[in-house]
Structure 1
Amino acid sequence: METEAKSQETSPLMSEGMWWGTLGSVRPFPNFRPERDVTVLHTALEKKDVSTIVRILTNRSNAQRRSLALAYKNFSQKELDASLKKVLSGDLQSLILGLMMIPEQFEAHRLRKAMEGAGTDEETLLEMLCTRTPQQLSDIRAAYSQEYKRDLEKDLISETSGDFSKLIEALLKKENEPGIVDQDIATLSEELKNKKPAADIWIKILTTRNPDHLRIVLEKLEFEKGQTVEDSLEGHFKGVLSGDLKKGLKTLVRCIQNQYLFLAQRIQTMKAPVVQGVMVAHSEEDLLRVRVAYLQSTGTSLYTALQKQFKGELQQGLLAICRAED
């Protein structure tokens, strides 16, 4: 497998809001030469050499892949995505086409898929809305509008209902304002004493304060109550409000307390769309932290788990994104 780069490379094709993170597993390929890659890629596509296609595209950064797409079009007068669709299929096609999208496009795509079909995939909606920053969510909303000519907020509201819909809407518009720790603790502690839970109080505090502030609030609330906030919510909202709302609030709390552990637990399902979604979305941002959380929570490295679960070129692609054994 080709070696990843040690330093960041800039590209005119990198999106203005590229979510580059120093804790990503995928880095720019050193000595990147798109004209060389395009020649190899073009031959591989003609011969349906899937292994070579996967090797190249999983060992380049997102900006480099976009550069390759442009060079490929100049070379062959064809769109690279269209050529990939003809050669790849199933989960592998989804993985590679996902890698070809810029981050906000990929997240917009995942949100759209979560809302399509007979049932809504609430877990995926919550994953993205709970773990993304206000700026990232703004980028995703813009990409969603551009890609699908639809309004993300309206689509989310139409797919949900009641207090859960209020939570989803608040997450989409969440803020990172500072708050007063003791005041928020007192408010939540008092609310937990109410016989009739007030969802609005939890939604307001958990979606308008910055994460560092909320971690302190939740830690002190747990100390005061002698149980986890998740357990407090489970008992407090039991049989009173919708299961979706309770699931949403508990997911939000888990993400505030440790989003890397939450993402690692999402991957533990080993469902291909979930694994691909998390790994592609976080590959250049913080997947190294997710890997650490996976090892700590399961006792097995993510790399080993992927080797056991997946086969063939799909395994090859996922291992290249994961990058290394822990």
Structure 2
Amino acid sequence: MCWGGLGSLRPFPVFQPEKDVADLEAALEQKDVSTLVRILANRSNAQRQSLAQTFLSLTQQDLRARLKKVLNGGLEELMLGMMMTLEQFEAQRLRRAMEGLGTDEETLLEILCLRSPEQLSDIAAGYIKEYQRDLEKDLLSETSGEFSLLLVALLKKKHMLGHVDQDVRVLCKDLNSSKADVAPWIQILTMRDPDHLRRVLIHVEAERGQPVTADIERHFGGIFSRDVRLGLQILVSSIEDPHRYLAQRIQTMKGPVIQGLIVSHSEEDLLAVRAAYKKETGRSLYTTIQDKFKGDIQQILLAICRSED
């Protein structure tokens, strides 16, 4: 599955699964990480799935299990993630964001805000298949209040027809009111297509004279939780400019964030994220990876990132 056309990873033009399997088997025997990276980071996701099937057919062994025996730590986790389908990988990121103590709200929001209704349907199906758990029920059990309502609305979002002027009036009416109401924001921002919503937000900002995210910060203070404000701000940012939002998220310099974004967007729009990152920071994502990571993980992330900007 390829979810976009601005990816840094494209299908390898001369794909020979049998030859790749022979090279992978030799590399696994010798624990040759460089060869593993050279092959797996230069094949599309669909080609990696084909390699796993061919490896099983020719060797009667599971490629993922063999990788797990040879690799360890962060490199093992990263390469096993690359061997997942895209919906499996995003389902794993969602599950890990809800496991253990505390919930990683920003990862939940990133995935639910940016993915289309069709993608979310695939991810939810992958979540059930992998974990035998219902994604909506897990979101409700791990969060509360208006924030839960926002997450579930994002999971079930639809692209329904609306009128820009009417939506602008509804949002501005709430911002002008002394009593904030999150309901119209959830209803509008999760029930329209991105192009429509970008027009709505441009008009709201023009009428209010300041960024919509700043209005949200002021308006949803007080009794509203930080999660609600954060959720609405991330939703607005991801609608206005999704690649800029991802570039800003990468700037947190958290290893799991960078790795998750690079793998999940490698075939969709990583080139656009790279350009936005360069515009935001004045340096390339490639150089940032060189500075942030070392060793084998650096090698595979650089291979996916592809080049300097």
TM range (shorter): over 0.9
Output one character per residue of 1:263-302: Cα deviation in whole Å (capped at 9) or x when no partner. Answer: 1111122222111111111111111110111011001011
Return the offset for 1:20. Answer: 3.5
Return the offset for 1:312. Answer: 1.2
- Whether 1:308 aligns to 2:287 is no
Report the counterpart of residue 27 of structure 1 in structure 2.
10
**Which residue, 176, 194, 197 being the options, matches 2:177?**
194
Report the counterpart of residue 55 of structure 2 in structure 1.
72
Report the counterpart of residue 8 of structure 1 in structure 2.
none
Worse overlay, 264-273 or 288-297: 264-273
Amino acid at match of 1:132: R
Worse overlay, 126-135 or 20-29: 20-29
Whole-Å Cα distance in 2 between the matches of residues 199 and 236 of structure 1?
10
Return the offset for 1:29. Answer: 1.1
Report the counterpart of residue 153 of structure 1 in structure 2.
136
Amino acid at match of 1:119: G
Report the counterpart of residue 15 of structure 1 in structure 2.
none
Whole-Å Cα distance in 1 between the matches of residues 56 and 2 of structure 2?
26
Whole-Å Cα distance in 2 between the matches of residues 39 and 299 of structure 1?
42
Whole-Å Cα distance in 1 between the matches of residues 219 and 253 of structure 2?
31
> Does the C-alpha gap of structure 1 residues 24 and 190 become closer, same or farther in structure 2, counting only changes over 3 Å?
same
Whole-Å Cα distance in 1 between the matches of residues 272 and 52 of structure 2?
30
Q: SS of 1:192's equivalent?
A: helix
Report the counterpart of residue 42 of structure 1 in structure 2.
25
What is the TM-score when the length of structure 1 is the normalising length?
Answer: 0.93
Report the counterpart of residue 272 of structure 2 in structure 1.
289
Output one character per residue of 1:159-187: Cα deviation in whole Å (capped at 9) or x when no partner. Answer: 10000000001000011122111111111
Return the offset for 1:217. Answer: 0.7
* Structure 1: stretches of 5+ with no match in the other structure: 1-17
Report the counterpart of residue 233 of structure 1 in structure 2.
216
Output one character per residue of 1:245-264: Cα deviation in whole Å (capped at 9) or x when no partner. Answer: 01000000000000101111
What is the TM-score when the length of structure 2 is the normalising length?
Answer: 0.98
Return the offset for 1:90. Answer: 1.6
- Whether 1:264 aligns to 2:241 is no
Whole-Å Cα distance in 1 between the matches of residues 3 and 24 of structure 2?
26
Amino acid at match of 1:237: F
The 8 Å contact of residues 115 and 121 in structure 1, kept in 2 or not, is answered as yes
Whole-Å Cα distance in 1 between the matches of residues 278 and 96 of structure 2?
29
- Whether 1:110 aligns to 2:93 is yes
Output one character per residue of 1:187-236: Cα deviation in whole Å (capped at 9) or x when no partner. Answer: 11111122221111111111101111111111111111111000001000
The 8 Å contact of residues 91 and 273 in structure 1, kept in 2 or not, is answered as no
Output one character per residue of 1:296-316: Cα deviation in whole Å (capped at 9) or x when no partner. Answer: 100101111111111111111
Whole-Å Cα distance in 1 between the matches of residues 40 and 253 of structure 2?
22
Whole-Å Cα distance in 2 between the matches of residues 204 and 74 of structure 1?
49
Whole-Å Cα distance in 2 between the matches of residues 92 and 62 of structure 1?
18
**Which residue, 208, 212, 215 being the options, matches 2:195?**
212
Report the counterpart of residue 36 of structure 2 in structure 1.
53
Whole-Å Cα distance in 1 between the matches of residues 305 and 128 of structure 2?
31
Return the offset for 1:87. Answer: 1.2
Amino acid at match of 1:61: S
User: Number of aligned pairs?
Assistant: 309
Output one character per residue of 1:8-57: Cα deviation in whole Å (capped at 9) or x when no partner. Answer: xxxxxxxxxx2342211001112111111111111111111112111111
Whole-Å Cα distance in 2 between the matches of residues 209 and 21 of structure 1?
20
The 8 Å contact of residues 260 and 293 in structure 1, kept in 2 or not, is answered as yes
Q: SS of 1:21's equivalent?
A: coil
Amino acid at match of 2:288: A
**Which residue, 91, 95, 99 being the options, matches 2:74?**
91
Whole-Å Cα distance in 1 between the matches of residues 288 and 28 of structure 2?
30
Amino acid at match of 1:227: Q
Whole-Å Cα distance in 2 between the matches of residues 196 and 91 of structure 1?
47
Instruction: Let me know the Cα RMSD of the aligned residues.
Output: 0.9
Identity fraction in percent: 61
The 8 Å contact of residues 145 and 152 in structure 1, kept in 2 or not, is answered as yes
Return the offset for 1:76. Answer: 2.0
Whole-Å Cα distance in 2 between the matches of residues 103 and 123 of structure 1?
19
Whole-Å Cα distance in 2 between the matches of residues 313 and 270 of structure 1?
18
* Structure 2: stretches of 5+ with no match in the other structure: none
Return the offset for 1:63. Answer: 1.0
Whole-Å Cα distance in 1 between the matches of residues 161 and 113 of structure 2?
18
